[in-house]
């Protein structure tokens, strides 16, 4: 087995060279599936007929989740049709619609995609049309399932928890376990896509191990589905690591240890469903009593991937137990690699394992400690760039940008994507030197980072004020002491401290002409150990409202929620955010001294949120026309007097106090752009008029003209949605 012979230190290179799919094939397959989805939408899903209409298409499977292996992978293209009004409707018309979809597919393939072959295998899944896309050299292939489905989720925003009725209706449909899993493909994809790149690499490593076990003669039909191991890998990382960077060998050993303890596994998440609804709660209680292992799909509670009564986990466990003496689990000096430790991870002699919504009792903060050594560490919470002026009067500062001579207005429409890659994305070398703060919305040359330090001496929002100065002084002393061992090629500078609640410093790379403004903030741990995608307890916000705080005063307490809200977005949307922020900087630099000072402009973070809003309302596709998206955002800037933008991802109107607060916020003058993590923070403050004027002036420039000279059209975006 090639994995076993790979040294532990070389596993990252092994994944990059051997397991990640070839970009050329992935891109061709992605374009092919995108074109097929467009063709089905155009034809209404039926050859020569106007109905049923395609409501939306969603790409799932390992390809959609970003966990596809080199060589062969699977993809699910779910077609949501308006003729399905319930789960039950799908059974009645499935055969007819699949037959017509095959005719549409064969007609569409009369103009084949260059470099790809299409074949139809034996149809073994009753609810899907199966076909295979293969590269001409036969090195890569993708098994695609085309699945017509009921659009039960509607146009729910990414990160928004479905209504409990979605699942109570599912339970009343009399379905088999996982029968309607395709209806929840979008939730499943989002659940995996928010994970860091290295965790996906660990998933590839686990899947490669699984496939090699199968090649040794075990019948794949008797083994658990590989998706179960994807979920088990995420569970292991959540319980034992939760870091963006880690040892692949440690992660792999942890997952194999869980497989050995399969008789005790009970894994589930309450990201999309929970115990609030009585019917769903009772059903979950029954599911959790099933034979171990239980691994519930985070999107569909009826689908137990572990299915201890059906799959031969013991075969995988035997192989896992026999592999620890191989080089992949040995350090350079021959010492064995250790697995992660955590509350839900196996211990010798345990009779059961926890599940990922349980908190770790060992991580509770020591009581009444007054030392900074008692930090409750959750560092790396990256905030939005250029935060808004807070109640203390701290202002966003627009830097001078070395690349500002590049006139955005003269970049042709078709070159915008390349412009972002070449001129706006941060230098990888600088990110490596400056820390792991690059989360996708940082501009090249200069950006800002918040490092939030949650301390156990703060037990309430109000506690942060009295001891802040003392703690910041101690933090500065520790920082200066730490910097005596300098990071090569970086210099540390302390600017004028103009934010009372933070210690500000700057990391500068003179060689790369890049810098990062860092704010070190001690804060109250209001949210606690919340799993990614889980909604905070309503009391978190009711306590905030009764604290008598100023607007956005305690926004640092919610930095993790803010970061998670951004991180689930597709890469191209983050690129659009970079483009909008670059335009913002150009406007600020060109008008310096002429109009409003940069500090009085709306913060760049407001434009980040506005860009996400535009995409959610008008596009929702992973791949889109950059010029269309940019034009849409500038159109919203011009309509700033009507803007009312908010999300209920983390807070909502269920709590009476929060309902009253939100109603009060929504009555305020426009523009209103509420932070999705802190309902007291309206980031829409500032002078929008200059931005609106510049947005209007850009309308007929080259960046908004198509090849034939016509203007690029914006997305169709609602003015005041209820999110």
Contact 567, 196 (CB under 8 A): no
User: Has residue 594 got a pLDDT over 70?
Assistant: no
Q: What is the DSSP letter of 76?
A: E
Q: How confident is the model at residue 419 (pLDDT cuts 50, 70, 90)?
A: low
Contact 384, 604 (CB under 8 A): yes
Closest CA to 579 of 372, 424, 463: 424
- DSSP-derived letter for residue 558 is G
pLDDT of residue 498: 82
- Which DSSP helix (H) or strand (E) runs through 142? strand 141-149
70-74, 159-163, 256-260, 597-601: which is most confident: 256-260
Query: What angle is formed at CA 344 by the lines to CA 339 and CA 348, rounded to 5 degrees?
Result: 60
What integer is the mean pLDDT of 600-608? 92
Predicted confidence at residue 158, as pLDDT, reads: 63
The mean pLDDT of 321-348, rounded to a whole number, is 82
Domains of the chain are 374-704 (1.10.1410.20)
Instruction: Please check the confidence at residue 25 and state whether its pLDDT lies above 60.
Output: yes
- pLDDT-derived band at 374 (thresholds 50, 70, 90) equals very low
Mean pLDDT for the stretch of residues 497-514: 79
Pick the closest to residue 510 from 488, 537, 536 (CA basis). 488
More confident residue, 46 or 466: 466
Per-residue pLDDT averaged across 448-468, rounded? 87
Mean pLDDT throughout 573-597? Answer: 81
Over residues 92-105, mean pLDDT:
88
Q: What percent of the chain has pLDDT over 70?
A: 79
Quick one: pLDDT at residue 275?
86
Residue 639 has pLDDT above 70, yes or no: yes
Among 51-60, 446-455, 473-482, 686-695, the range scoring the smallest mean pLDDT is: 446-455
**Residues 525-534: what's their mean pLDDT?**
78
- Beta strand pairing status for 72-81 and 116-119? unpaired
- Residue 432's alpha-carbon distances to 61, 484, 487, 492, 564, in angstroms, are 32, 20, 11, 16, 22
pLDDT at 126: 85
State what percent of residues in the chain have pLDDT above 90.
41
Tokens of 539: 């009391």
Q: 168-184, pLDDT tens digit by residue?
A: 999 998 888 999 999 99
Predicted confidence (pLDDT) at residue 51 exceeds the cutoff of 70 = no
pLDDT at 722 over 70: no
pLDDT at 444 (0 to 100) = 57
For residues 313-341, give the mean pLDDT: 89
Dump pLDDT digits (tens) for 696-716: 988 778 788 877 778 889 998
* From 275-289, 331-345, 365-379, 661-675, the region with the lowest mean pLDDT: 365-379
The reply to whether the predicted model has a pTM over 0.95 is no
Q: Residue 273 has which token pair? A: 């469903």
Report the pLDDT value the prediction gives residue 93, as an integer from 0 to 100.
84
Mean of per-residue pLDDT scores for the chain? 81
Q: What is the pLDDT of residue 424?
A: 62
Average pLDDT over residues 369-381: 28
65 pLDDT tier (thresholds 50, 70, 90): very high
Mean pLDDT of 222-246: 94
Residue 302, SS3?
coil
The pLDDT score that the predictor gives to residue 428 is 39
Question: Which strands make up the sheet holding 54-60, listed edge to edge?
Answer: 54-60, 72-81, 141-149, 129-135, 116-119
Radius of gyration in angstroms for the set of CA atoms belonging to the chain, rounded to a whole number: 26
């Amino acid at each position: 087995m090639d994995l076993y012979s790979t040294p532990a230190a070389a596993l990252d290179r092994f994944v990059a060279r051997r397991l990640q799919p070839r970009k050329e094939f992935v891109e061709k397959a992605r374009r092919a599936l995108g074109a097929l989805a467009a063709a089905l939408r155009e034809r209404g899903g039926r050859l020569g007929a106007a109905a049923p209409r395609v409501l939306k298409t969603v790409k799932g499977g390992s390809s959609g989740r970003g966990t596809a292996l080199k060589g062969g992978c699977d993809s699910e293209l779910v077609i949501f049709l308006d003729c399905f009004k319930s789960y039950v409707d799908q059974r009645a018309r499935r055969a007819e619609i699949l037959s017509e979809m095959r005719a549409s597919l064969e007609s569409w393939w009369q103009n084949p995609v260059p470099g790809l072959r299409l074949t139809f295998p034996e149809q073994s899944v009753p609810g899907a049309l199966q076909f295979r896309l293969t590269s001409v050299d036969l090195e890569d292939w993708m098994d695609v399932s085309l699945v017509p489905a009921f659009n039960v989720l509607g146009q729910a925003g990414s990160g928004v928890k479905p209504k409990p009725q979605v699942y109570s209706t599912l339970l009343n449909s009399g379905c088999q376990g996982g029968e309607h899993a395709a209806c929840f493909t979008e939730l499943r994809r989002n659940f995996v896509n928010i994970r860091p790149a290295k965790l996906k690499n660990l998933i590839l490593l686990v899947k490669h191990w699984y496939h090699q076990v199968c090649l040794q003669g075990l019948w794949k039909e008797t083994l658990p589905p590989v998706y179960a191991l994807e979920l088990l890998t995420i569970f292991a990382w959540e319980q034992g690591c939760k870091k963006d960077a880690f040892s692949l060998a440690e992660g792999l050993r942890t997952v194999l240890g869980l497989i050995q303890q399969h008789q005790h596994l009970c894994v589930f998440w309450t990201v999309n469903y929970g115990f609030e609804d009585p019917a769903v709660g009772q059903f979950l209680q029954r599911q959790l009593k099933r034979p171990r292992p239980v691994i519930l799909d985070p999107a569909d509670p009826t689908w137990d991937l572990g299915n201890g009564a059906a799959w031969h986990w013991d075969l995988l466990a035997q192989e896992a137990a026999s592999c620890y003496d191989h080089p992949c689990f040995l350090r350079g000096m021959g010492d064995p690699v250790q697995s992660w430790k955590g509350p839900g991870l196996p211990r010798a002699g345990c009779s059961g394992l926890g599940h990922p919504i349980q908190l770790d009792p060992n991580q509770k903060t020591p009581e009444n400690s007054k030392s900074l050594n008692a930090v409750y560490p959750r560092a790396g919470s990256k905030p939005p760039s250029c935060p808004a002026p807070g109640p203390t009067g701290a202002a966003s500062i627009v830097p001078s940008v070395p690349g500002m001579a590049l006139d955005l207005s003269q970049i042709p429409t078709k070159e915008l994507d390349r412009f972002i890659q070449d001129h706006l994305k941060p230098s990888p070398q600088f990110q490596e030197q400056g820390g792991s703060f690059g989360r996708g919305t940082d501009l090249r040359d200069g950006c800002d980072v918040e490092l939030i330090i949650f301390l156990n001496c703060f037990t309430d929002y109000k506690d942060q004020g009295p001891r802040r100065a003392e703690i910041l002084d101690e933090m500065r002393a520790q920082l200066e002491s730490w910097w005596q061992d300098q990071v090569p090629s970086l210099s540390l500078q302390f600017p004028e401290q103009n934010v009372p609640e933070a210690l500000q410093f700057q990391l500068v790379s003179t060689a790369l002409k890049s810098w990062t403004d860092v704010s070190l903030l001690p804060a109250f741990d209001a949210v606690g150990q919340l799993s990614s995608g889980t909604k905070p307890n309503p009391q978190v916000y009711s306590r905030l409202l009764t604290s008598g705080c100023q607007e956005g005063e305690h926004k640092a307490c919610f930095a993790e929620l803010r970061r998670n809200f951004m991180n689930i977005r597709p890469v191209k949307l983050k690129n659009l955010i970079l483009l909008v922020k670059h335009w913002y900087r150009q406007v600020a630099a060109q008008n310096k001294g002429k109009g409003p000072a940069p500090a009085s402009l709306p913060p760049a973070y407001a434009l980040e949120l506005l860009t996400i809003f535009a995409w959610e309302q008008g596009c929702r596709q992973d791949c889109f026309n950059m010029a269309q998206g940019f034009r849409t955002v500038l159109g919203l800037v011009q309509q700033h007097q009507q803007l009312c933008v908010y999300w209920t991802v983390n807070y909502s109107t269920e709590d009476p106090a929060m309902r009253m607060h939100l109603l009060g916020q929504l009555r305020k003058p426009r523009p209103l752009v509420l932070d999705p993590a802190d309902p007291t923070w309206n980031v829409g403050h500032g002078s929008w008029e200059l931005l609106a004027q510049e947005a209007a002036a850009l309308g007929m420039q080259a960046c908004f003209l198509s090849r034939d000279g016509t203007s690029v059209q914006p997305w169709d975006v609602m003015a005041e949605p209820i999110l």
